[in-house]
């Protein structure tokens, strides 16, 4: 799977960084502080943006953002945790899919099935890829659950399946790696897997060995526990590069 200059496939060492600023001025400062040549994908976490309910502001910010990041693939993500704000979340996705500039939308697998399918259809009609994601901030599910989750995400129309778990023991990191390895060999859809937390750091630099297509590193702020700075991840990847 290729998006602009980036290939998403098992074993690829792609680095994604989330943009977490609250205003365009801060977002611009954040982008210009990043080593963009070391970043493969950017994610705009619009849930962190102060004007996220202003559709005109979102459209203009997206236009300026695309000008600034040039050809770097962009994920548009609204990470809404409360059911009462889901309608606003869906409305925002529907609005942004009418605009240009994004390459992916990220949808939580917990959203209503009919809404996920609707947004998947709209995205694909626009030529936008869909990431279906699940975040477990407590632990690491068993292999059977992960397998069912990946199948469900694929059935919903995901182009990429993302799974972020929390590792509290080394065994949980190994479980994630083993399951990722087996599922990446059994599915054509790229998997983006990682473990959060202190122990999870190892999964963020070694996940590609077991079939993950990308990892998340931190820019000015971490978007999840256990992320390593993007410059450090890039340096480690260079050290681990095949000769």
Question: In this predicted model, what pLDDT tens digit does every residue of 101-118 receive, in sequence order?
Answer: 999 999 999 999 999 999
Per-residue pLDDT reduced to its tens digit, 119-159:
999 999 999 999 999 999 999 999 999 999 999 999 999 99
Q: Answer whether 34's CB lies under 8 Å from 43's CB.
A: no
Q: Give the structural domain span for 20.
A: 2-240
| pLDDT tops 80 at residue 226 | no
The confidence band for 42, taking pLDDT boundaries of 50, 70 and 90, is very high
Structure tokens at 123: 């995205």
81 is in an annotated binding site: no
43 is in an annotated binding site: yes
CA dihedral 225, 228, 229, 235 (to 10 degrees): -170
**Residues noted as catalytic:** 135, 162
The confidence band for 83, taking pLDDT boundaries of 50, 70 and 90, is low
pLDDT score, position 82: 64
99 is in an annotated binding site: no
| pLDDT tops 80 at residue 80 | no
pLDDT score, position 24: 95
Q: For 153-176, give one letter per residue: b (16+ CB within 10 A) or e.
A: beebbbbbbbbbbbbbeeebbebb
Point out which residues pair with 58 in neighbouring strands.
Answer: none
Specify the CATH number for the domain of residue 47. Answer: 3.20.20.70
22 is in an annotated binding site: no
pLDDT score, position 108: 94
Per-residue pLDDT reduced to its tens digit, 47-60:
999 999 999 999 99
Q: How far apart are alpha carbons 238 and 232 in whole angstroms?
A: 10
pLDDT score, position 224: 74
The domain tally of the chain equals: 1
Average pLDDT of 70-96? 87
The CA distances from residue 64 to 60, 69, 100, 136, 152, in Å, are 6, 9, 11, 33, 36
204 is in an annotated binding site: yes
66 is in an annotated binding site: no
56 is in an annotated binding site: no
pLDDT score, position 240: 79
| pLDDT tops 60 at residue 43 | yes
44 is in an annotated binding site: yes
The confidence band for 219, taking pLDDT boundaries of 50, 70 and 90, is confident
Average pLDDT, the chain: 93
Portion of the chain with pLDDT greater than 90, in percent: 84
């Amino acid at each position: 799977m290729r998006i602009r200059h980036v290939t998403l496939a098992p074993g690829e060492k792609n680095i994604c960084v989330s943009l977490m600023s609250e205003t365009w001025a801060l977002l611009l400062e954040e982008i210009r502080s990043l080593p963009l040549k070391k970043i493969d994908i950017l994610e705009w976490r619009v849930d962190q943006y102060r004007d996220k309910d202003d559709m005109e502001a979102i459209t203009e910010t997206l236009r300026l953002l695309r000008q600034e990041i040039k050809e770097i693939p962009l994920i548009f993500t609204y990470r809404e945790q409360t059911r009462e704000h889901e309608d606003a979340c869906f409305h925002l996705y529907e609005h942004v899919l009418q605009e240009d500039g994004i390459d992916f939308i990220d949808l939580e697998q917990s959203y209503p099935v009919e809404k996920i399918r609707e947004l998947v259809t709209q995205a694909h009609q626009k030529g936008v890829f869909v990431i279906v994601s699940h975040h477990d901030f407590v632990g690491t599910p068993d292999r059977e659950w992960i397998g069912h989750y990946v199948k469900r995400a694929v059935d919903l129309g995901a182009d990429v399946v993302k799974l972020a778990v929390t590792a509290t023991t080394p065994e949980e990191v190994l479980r994630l790696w083993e399951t990722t390895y087996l599922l990446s060999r059994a599915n054509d859809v790229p998997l983006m897997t990682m473990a959060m937390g202190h122990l999870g750091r190892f999964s963020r630099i070694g996940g590609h060995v077991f079939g993950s297509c990308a990892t998340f590193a931190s820019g000015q702020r971490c978007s999840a526990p256990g992320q390593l700075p993007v410059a450090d991840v890039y340096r480690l990847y260079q050290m681990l590069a095949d000769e």
